Amino acid sequence: MLKGNAVIGQSGGPTTVINASLSGVIDRCLQAEPIANVYGMRYGIEGFMSGNLINLGREDKAVLQSLRYAPSSALGSCRHKLQQADFGPVLEMLKKHHIRYFFLIGGNDTMDTIHRVENYCREKGYELTGVGIPKTVDNDLFGTDHTPGFGSAGRYVALSVKQAGMLARDMKYVDQYVIFQTVGRSAGWLPASSALAKTAEDDAPHIILMPERPFERDKFLADVQSCYERYGWSSIVCGEGICYADGTPVSASTTADKFSNVEFGAMGGTSAALMLHRMIKETFGWRGEFQVCESLQMAAADRTSPLDLEEAYACGRRAVELALEGRSGVMVSIVRESNDPYRWSLGTAPLAEVALGEKPMPDEYITPEGSFVTPACIEYLKPLVGPLPEYARLKGQVVLNDE
C-alpha cells in the first residue's frame, strides 16, 4: 500500500452535491493511515500546476461537516484541457508534495485528465493511484447508471416547469406559451426530467425537445398550435443543445470551449429558447416568455434530492477505498439494482472508456414522435428526482344561469 499524501480537485460546472463527494473524499482520507495529508486543488488542475494547494486536514471540523451540504464548488473549478507541455509541471508538483493519491470530481473531460496524468506518471516511473468521482448535471457520463448532481438538477427542472406551468396556465389569456431551457449539450436527460411535473393531461410540459432528436421547425410549430387548440396555451421544455438535422444548433451558437464543445447560452450570444420564442411569435403573433436558468440548475441547494446527496457522499468515500485497495485508472460508478423499491450499489468503470464515451438517452425513453418521454423513462427518473409536491387546483364548477 502506497504511503504519501492525497490531492482532490473539482472540475467543470458545479452541482448541488459536488461538495458532498468532496466531503466523502476528505472524511475517508483523514481516516486512512497510509495517507498523511489531504490537499485540495484550488481551481482544479490549472491551479494545481501553479502550486495553488490548501491543506484540507487543517480546516475547522465544523466547516468540513457542513461542507457536505454546501452548493457550488468549494475548491473552485476550471475547464483546462491538458496540453503535452503541462505534464511535466503536474509531475513536478506531485513529487514536490509527495502525492501518491490523485482524485478528481467531474465529467468525461475530467476523467480524461486523470487517465492521462496516471499514464504519464507510469511512463516516468512515478507511482500514482488515480481514481475519478463522477459528476455532471447532464447525466451523460458513460459507465454509470446516473451521475451525482443529476437528480438534484432534475428536481430543479421538474419543480420549475411545474410551478411556471401553473402560472402560464392561469395567465393564458395574456401569454399563450412558455419555454423553459435546461442545460445539456448533447443529452436530453434534464429536459426529460420535466415530465415528472405532469400529473394531468393539460399540465406542463406539453412538448419536450431533446438533443437526441433533430429539431424540425414545421413539426414543432404544428405541435405548438395543436397544444394551443387543446389547452389555450403551450408549455415547451428544450435542451440547450438541440440541433437541426444537419447539426446546426437551434441556438445558432458557433463559440466552442477548450474541449471543442459548443458553448450555449450567454457565451454563444443567444439561446435555443430565445430562437423558439421568436419562431412562435413570428408565426402566430402570440405573447409568451422564455426562461433560461443557466447555472441555477447546478447550484440550487434548496432543491437538493436527498438520494443525490447520499450517493454523492458515498462516491467520494468509495473512491478513497478503491485507491487504498490499489485500484487505479477507474471511476466510481453507480449501479441500479432495482427501480421499485429503488436499490443501488457502487461499482467501477475504466477511465479510458469513460473519457471517450457519452450516454445519450436510449430510444426506448423517447416517444416515437420525438417530443416527449415514455413511461420507462419516467420510472428511471422518479427515484432520482424524488416526489414532487401536489398543489391545489380548483374543480371549476361553472355557475348555471338559473343559480
- Cite the active site residues: 138
Q: Are the beta carbons of 202 and 212 closer than 8 angstroms?
A: no
Looking at this protein, which amino acid is placed at residue 356?
L
Alpha carbons within 13 A on the beta-carbon side of 269: 7
| Antiparallel, parallel or unpaired: β 234-239 and 207-209 | parallel
Phi and psi at residue 331, to the nearest 5°: -115, 140
CA distances (Å), 363 to each of 46, 187, 220, 367, in order?
38, 12, 19, 8
DSSP 194: G
Give me the residues paired with residue 337 across strands. none
Give the ranges where 195-305 is alpha helix by DSSP (H).
Answer: 217-231, 272-284, 296-299
Q: Using alpha carbons, select from 396, 358, 321, 222 the residue that is nearest to residue 6.
A: 321
Q: Using alpha carbons, select from 61, 67, 78, 56 the residue that is nearest to residue 11.
A: 78
DSSP 271: -
The cell 482520507 sits on which residue?
29
> Counting beta carbons within 10 angstroms of the beta carbon of residue 32, is it exposed (0 to 12), middle (13 to 18) or buried (19 or more)?
middle
Q: Is the peptide bond before 205 cis (omega within 30 degrees of 0)?
A: yes
Residues 328-365: b if buried by 16+ CB within 10 A, e if exposed: bbbbbbbeeeeeeeeebebebbebeebbeeebbbeeeb
Q: Are the beta carbons of 77 and 43 closer than 8 angstroms?
A: yes
Which runs of E-coded beta strand occur in 4-162?
4-10, 35-41, 53-55, 99-106, 129-134
Give me the residues paired with residue 129 across strands. 101
The length of the chain is 403
